[in-house]
Structure formats: C-alpha cells, structure tokens
Amino acid sequence: MKKKKIILGMSGGIDSSVSAWILKEQGYEVIGLFMNNWNDNKKKNNFCNNKKDLIDAISIADIIGINIKIVNFSKEYKKYIFSNFIKEYKKGNTPNPDITCNSIIKFNFFLNYANSILKTNLIATGHYARIKKTLKGKYKLLKAKDLNKDQSYFLYRLNQKQLSKSIFPIGNFYKTKIKEIAKKLKFPNVNKKNSTGICFIGKRPFRKFLNNYINYNPGPIKTTSGITISKHIGLSFYTIGQRKGIGIGGIKKNIYIKKKNTPWYVAKKNIKKNILYVVQGHNHPWLLSYKIIIYKTHWISGKAPKNFSILKAKIRYRQKDSKCIIYYYNKLYILYFIEPQWGAAKGQSIVLYNKNICLGGGIIK
C-alpha cells in the first residue's frame, strides 16, 4: 500500500525532530517543512529561527531519511501577525503573537501550502497537545499528557477543519521520553534549549526593538493617590504586572513613599491622559481581578459554552488553571473567578477548559 503523505513543520528543535521520527515509524511518508516567518532588513539573519535551527532541521531530516523543504511566509507573517502586534501595542495592550501565528500561519497558510504545493491535506507539528475525534465526527483539542509542557493554550484559536487535518505526534509523551529518544537516535540537537520569547525579537532588548515602530511618548508615573513620582517613556512600553524596568528605583527618598523596600508594579494605564499608575506589593488590590471581560472569542467546537457554566481558565501560559463562571451579556463574555487573577492585561488571551478539553477562549478587553 502507498504510504500516506504528511507534512511536518520542523523548527530544528528536539520536539519536531522526534515528531518526524515517530511519524516515519508509524508508516507515513514524511516531508519536513522549515518555515521562515520573519524578514528583517536591519538584521543579517533574516530567519525568525536562526541559521543554526535550519542546519539542525536539515541534519535531522538527513539522519531520519526524509526530505525537507524551506518555505517563506514572512510577507504573510508581517501582514497578519506583526502588523496586528504593533497595532495592539500602540493601543497600550499586551498581545500574544504566538497564538495568532499558530492559527493563521502554521495551521492556515502552512495547511494550504501542503495541500496545493505538496499535494496532501495532512500536517503535523511538535506541539504538546492532543486531538480526539468524537463519535459524532467532531474534533476536540486536549491537553498534553505531560501537563508541564502542555501547549494547548497557544492552540485555542484552531477550528474544526484545522484539527481534522492535523497530528501532534508527541502529545502522548513526556518530555523526558522525547529527550531519551533523541539521545538514543544521536540527534545533534539533543541538548538544545527550548526557544523562549517572541521569535522576531530574539535577544534584542524589547524596548529598543519596539521603538523602531512606536515612538516614545513620555508622561507621568503616579501612585494610586494621584501623586506623581516619576516619568514613563510611553505606555506602549509597559505591561500590567511589570516589575522590572519601570524606572522608579531611585525614588526611595521621596517623602510620599512610606514602604521603602516594597517592590513596585505597573497596575493601570490611562491611555487618554497618558498616565502610568504603579502600586507597591505583589498582592495590591489594583493587581487583582475577580471579573474579566473577554471579546474576539473563538470556540473550537463552533459552539460557545452554556451560560453560567463552571469552567477552568488560564490568563497566561503555564499558569495554574483557575475556576470561573462564564456569563454572556451584551455580546461580551464575562468571567467571574473564584480566586482573584493577578496582573490581567488588556490584549492577553484567556483560554478556557472543561477538565482536559480546551474549549477556546478570547482576548481580555
């Protein structure tokens, strides 16, 4: 019988590398696809992944015995991901480009490319997540078996079509097992560290990068009582809950500051008046939210949860699930939490779960 063809997104990392080996062992005709999603004329290295990643991906493909191709999605990335990233930061929000990249680039343009150019409608990635098909033909996105590595948070905007054409080969494995396999196969990237942060920024200082696209707009930094204690460089360059880099470390002698050694946190932004508010103490009330409104919601099944459903939610990746009640009112979803959520920032994604099933989520308004 002819082997079923599948296109695997290969980043040069250990997870996608072992995914390629697993798929070949399962009898698939595997073709690796290295995606270049970023082109920056100001940098010699125009790969969102660096050149070492490309070399690693090619080396792994050679060891496993599969073909690998390189595709350039940088124009699509700038149009649909990066432009929105800058737009949101200009508003003072805190977007997550990895989430939109997954739904638009990795599971849309990638899927279309696999279908039209490589003549297959089946794709795979090295994400830690699982897909389950129900008896009614619906597809569910499940958390990974290794909950410490679960990446369903970044995949909550996938739809039924995308899930029906996708495979996550390592969703049922623990990271320790993936490393064990890579070591046994003598993969050159076995000790490679996982990539962190936003790929197109790399190791560059975030503010310096952002300033290439957003001008500084200084304004006052105030306390909750309205006292000005310093100046900020522009609201776009701060996020709710931020502790480092606020620029108020030298105000210990200010006569209005009573708690000399208590750390400061960004707590609120007044966009119209260009004011940044800061508070002292990790558990200050201004940093805690019992109610969060979300919009731009997406539900994986195509159907929203019932009103007053008791669910679990994450307001950021790796955060512990928090119990909440969902309520739909005036075209918006309101989440009421049993325990207060810390540092909820506009533009962040909240992802909702029913046990280990990822239902979808939305953007904090």
One-letter amino acid at 89 equals Y
Active site residue 48: no
Distance of alpha carbon 267 from the chain centroid:
22
Q: d(Cα 197, Cα 206) in Å, to the nearest integer?
A: 10
Q: d(Cα 43, Cα 268) in Å, to the nearest integer?
A: 35
Q: Which of 48, 101, 324, 358 is catalytic?
A: 101
List the one residue out of 20, 18, 15, 19 whose CA is nearest residue 30: 20
Q: d(Cα 130, Cα 122) in Å, to the nearest integer?
A: 15
Strand, helix or coil at 352? strand
Token pair belonging to 346: 């506009």
CB-based contact 352:310 (threshold 8 Å): no
Q: d(Cα 215, Cα 117) in Å, to the nearest integer?
A: 41
List the one residue out of 341, 274, 288, 363 whose CA is nearest residue 93: 363
List the one residue out of 183, 147, 141, 181 whose CA is nearest residue 23: 181
Q: Which of 48, 199, 324, 358 is catalytic?
A: 199
In eight-state DSSP terms, residue 165 is T
Active site residue 358: no
What is the residue whose two structure tokens read 């995949």? 155
Backbone angles phi, psi at 364, to 5 degrees: -70, 125
- Identify the burial level of 36 via C-beta atoms within 10 angstroms of its C-beta, where 0-12 means exposed, 13-18 middle and 19 or more buried: middle
Strands of the 228-232 sheet, one edge to the other: 228-232, 219-222, 275-280, 264-270
CB-based contact 32:57 (threshold 8 Å): yes
Q: What residues have CB less than 8 Å from 288, skipping those under 6 apart?
A: 340, 341, 342
Question: What residues act catalytically?
Answer: 101, 199
